[in-house]
Structure formats: structure tokens, C-alpha cells
């Protein structure tokens, strides 16, 4: 398996590649979910690494900002991923991408300070069609949910 950054103009690796994700929890203990346009499902923010990303944590933060516009009072809970997940991505004929795997390094972030739970969300409409703050208990991946709950105690 080749772990690589998908560079503009280069042919991406389609057996699988690394991605970075952000689980964001607000002052009320609710996690941010986005409606992903291409997959048609609710996910936490995240995406592909870019050449300018210095590390995985920075990539997760960049994806969070790009997809949601959240920039104020966001802080990582840990400097290491709270979870690493491998999941299939279906083929996307419009992009010329066959089915492949994502190795998703997920980081936990908190909105901090006064009004941290009221952070305005501005969606990246070409990739995201909606958002919702939901209980951490609604995270379907049992391992991710348990690690987030343990980290927030």
C-alpha cells in the first residue's frame, strides 16, 4: 500500500490513501456532522491530504475550516489521532476514480471559550450540503464513540 499525498496533476493512488478527519465537539458536548455531497451521507469533516499540509493534525484542521468555515476557538484535544479508520470509498465515474480505501486519521477538537457552542458554520457548498450538531452518542463507529467519550471526561 502506498501512502501518499495526492498532488495536483498527478495520478492518485487508488488502492487506498491517507485522509485526515476532524471530530469537533461544542460546549454542549455535541459533535458536528456534515452532509457529504458526493457520498450522500452524514459524516464528520475531513478529506484528502494536500501538498501544503505539514502533518495530519494540520490537514484535519484545514479540512474542518474548508468544509465548515469554523475558525474561532478550535483546539485539538490531543496531538495524536483519537482513532484511525479504514473504510471503502465507492467508485466515482465523474472524477474517473475507481473504488478504493481511505485510511482516515481522525482528530478530536473542541470549541472553546464563550459562545464556543454558537460558532457560525459556513458550508463549502461544492462538497457539503448541510450540517447538524448531534449527541456524541449518535456516532455509529463504536470505537470512535468510546474514545471520544473517554477523551472528553
- Check pLDDT > 80 for residue 63: yes
Q: What is the pLDDT of residue 117?
A: 53
- The reported pTM is 0.82
- Check pLDDT > 90 for residue 40: no
Q: Which residue has the cell 468544509?
A: 67
Residue 104 is placed in which grid cell? 482516515
Cα–Cα distance, 86 to 111 (Å, whole number): 27
Using alpha carbons, list the distances in angstroms from residue 52 to 16, 49, 59, 118: 20, 8, 9, 30
Whether residue 132 contacts residue 33, with contact meaning beta carbons closer than 8 Å, is answered with: yes
Residue 54 is placed in which grid cell? 505539514
**pLDDT one-digit tens code per residue, 76-122:** 999 999 999 998 888 888 878 888 898 999 999 999 765 555 567 88
Amino acid at each position: 500500500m502506498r501512502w501518499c499525498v495526492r498532488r495536483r496533476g498527478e495520478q492518485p493512488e487508488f488502492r487506498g490513501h491517507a485522509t485526515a478527519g476532524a471530530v469537533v465537539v461544542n460546549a454542549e458536548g455535541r459533535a458536528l456532522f456534515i452532509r457529504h455531497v458526493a457520498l450522500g451521507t452524514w459524516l464528520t469533516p475531513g478529506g484528502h491530504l494536500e501538498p501544503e499540509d505539514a502533518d495530519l493534525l494540520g490537514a484535519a484542521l484545514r479540512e474542518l475550516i474548508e468544509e465548515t468555515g469554523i475558525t474561532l476557538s478550535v483546539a485539538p484535544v490531543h496531538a495524536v489521532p483519537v482513532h484511525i479508520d479504514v473504510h471503502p470509498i465507492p467508485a466515482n465515474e465523474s472524477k474517473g476514480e475507481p473504488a478504493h480505501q481511505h485510511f482516515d486519521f481522525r482528530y478530536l477538537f473542541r470549541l472553546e471559550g464563550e459562545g464556543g457552542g454558537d460558532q457560525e458554520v459556513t458550508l463549502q457548498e461544492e462538497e457539503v450540503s448541510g450540517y447538524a450538531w448531534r449527541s456524541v452518542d449518535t456516532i455509529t463507529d463504536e470505537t470512535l464513540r468510546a474514545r471520544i467519550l473517554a477523551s472528553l471526561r
